[in-house]
Structure 1
Amino acid sequence: MPTTGVQVIGFLVSITGWVGGVLVCAAPYWRVSAFVGDELVVSEVVWEGLWMTCLSQLGRIQCKVYDSALALSGSTQFCRVMVILSLLFGLFAMPLGVIGMKCTHCLEGVRDAKARLVRMAGGVFMVAGVAFFLPVFWTTFAVIRDFYDTNVPPPRKRELGPALYLGGGVACMMLAGGVLLYQGGSAPSGAPSKPFFGKGAGPAKDNHPTAVAEGKQDRAYV
């Protein structure tokens, strides 16, 4: 596949993953109340996210933002920091990718600089994907651990919310897009990206022994 196509696909995949990361960050669907025994009323469902908690009761949903960030658990604070860092990394990588891609007109005369910018954007997107995967993995681990812990009361047990599944896909998209961007910027810089037309086209033909001999014969007849 041409290098330009790899860069464009990698950039689009990374941007799609970043937009999905914004939605996952804001969604209050990271953890959902678990139905364990008879400890929980079926008509009430509690949803918990990084920024708010929601209560669904008889078709009505009421959401409330957490009162204090310092009162949250260390796990939630860690997830907040890592998700925000991931989104900031992606936001920083976007202009680098746009400037460095071959299909843009920025820094046209400096091919090596464009390739370096594309590789840098790919590396930053890969870091963003890893940073987003860490809070998703940690929350998943904590939910499963507490669910099977006999010391945790049944009303406090939680199950995996849909945002965790989507968050895993988002992290993989940013990571895969970063890899494609990096590979697209690692192509040999000596190869021309566009066909060359004009008087200078086909220099190898002029230096070919047959062409040299034909030129000598023409001069001899003249």
Structure 2
Amino acid sequence: MILNTEKTQYVCCHATVLDYLPLIRCILLRRLKKWAVQVCPGRGTGYTATLDILSCYINLSGGITAQRQKMVFLTTKIMQRTALFVTFGGLVTSLITTFLPLWKTMNSDLNEVENWFSGLWHMCLYTEEVGIQCKAYESVLGLPMDLQISRVLMSVSIGTGGLAVLAAFLGLEGVDMCVGQPGVKRGLLIFSGVLSWVSGLTTLAPVSVVAYTTLVDFWDEGFPDVMPRWEYGEAMFSGWFGGLALVIGGTLFFVAVCMGDYDQRPPSVPNSPQVNHRTQHYLKTEVL
């Protein structure tokens, strides 16, 4: 049984298109086989050559499969950094929303030159002649209830979001903090996820409350039609976006924790000798 050289070359080259290192190995094996044929005729052909080519092809296939398994884009480290990036973006958006005077806007058809803007901390007036002028609220107790609640909740959101980002940074893989203590890093990521959820909910709640009161006042039939009414401002939408980003970031932290637990799970050995021995012993006891 003599192998065809052209077929052998086709098998090796076809199996090593994606990997140059196994190609060199396969070429070296073929060179050694030709040298064995020349030195010891009858020894390098037939069944032995077939085994050589088959082993080369199996090794090539195994190397390609192993490399394909290593080329995984979504890893635990990437998921952790994605969660931190989304959470940080939501925190910055919520921080900007808190101090923007654009929660509510109002303009009148009778006086189109003036535009009023209302926020949590001050009210602004824009005119074409002077520009924009802002003034802080004189009394906190004189504010509507929805603005008072919104101030407190947005402050809580910023505080919890900052703690979430700090704890998540310390719990990331690759950060020289709590090295050799995977349980501590796992606890920090879980803590970050919980704080991100709290921060997101405390951002969505005040924005939704102010949006609801604005909508109710806008469609109140007790006000005359000519009277100007407050409408939604740009800060409403940025607040919703920031709150959703914080909630999504907290969810991604939990996903990263689950991925880390899955990667660190012990390998299952259902066919180990100890398991088989215990099973046989149990069956033997059952029969007796």
Map of 1:198 onto structure 2: none
Match among 80, 84, 88 for residue 15 of structure 1 = 88
Map of 1:43 onto structure 2: 113
Aligned to 1:151, the other structure's residue is in SS state coil
Aligned to 1:185, the other structure's residue is in SS state helix
Which structure is larger by alpha-carbon Rg, 1 or 2?
A: 2
Percent of residue pairs identical: 26
Distance 1:76 1:82 in 2: 10
The one-letter amino acid paired with 2:94 is: G
Deviations 1:66-106 (A, max 9, x none): 11111111111001011001111111112210111113121
Map of 2:141 onto structure 1: 70
**Long gaps (5+) in structure 1:** 193-203, 208-222
Note closer, same or farther for the CA distance 1:101–1:127 as it changes in structure 2 (3 Å cut).
same
For CA contacts below 8 A with separation 6 or more, give which structure has more relative contact order: 1
Map of 1:160 onto structure 2: 232
Deviations 1:173-212 (A, max 9, x none): 11111111121122344735xxxxxxxxxxx9xx9xxxxx
Contact 1:111 1:189 in 2 (8 A): no
The one-letter amino acid paired with 1:31 is: K
**Long gaps (5+) in structure 2:** 1-73, 273-288
Match among 12, 25, 32 for residue 105 of structure 2 = 32
Distance 1:121 1:128 in 2: 10
Aligned to 1:54, the other structure's residue is in SS state strand
Structure 1 vs Structure 2 CA RMSD: 2.1
If the length of structure 1 is used for normalisation, what is the TM-score?
0.81
1:177 aligns with 2:217: no
Distance 1:92 1:165 in 2: 24
More helix by share: 2
Match among 202, 217, 225 for residue 131 of structure 1 = 202
The one-letter amino acid paired with 1:33 is: M
Aligned to 1:186, the other structure's residue is in SS state helix
If the length of structure 2 is used for normalisation, what is the TM-score?
0.63
Note closer, same or farther for the CA distance 1:158–1:190 as it changes in structure 2 (3 Å cut).
closer
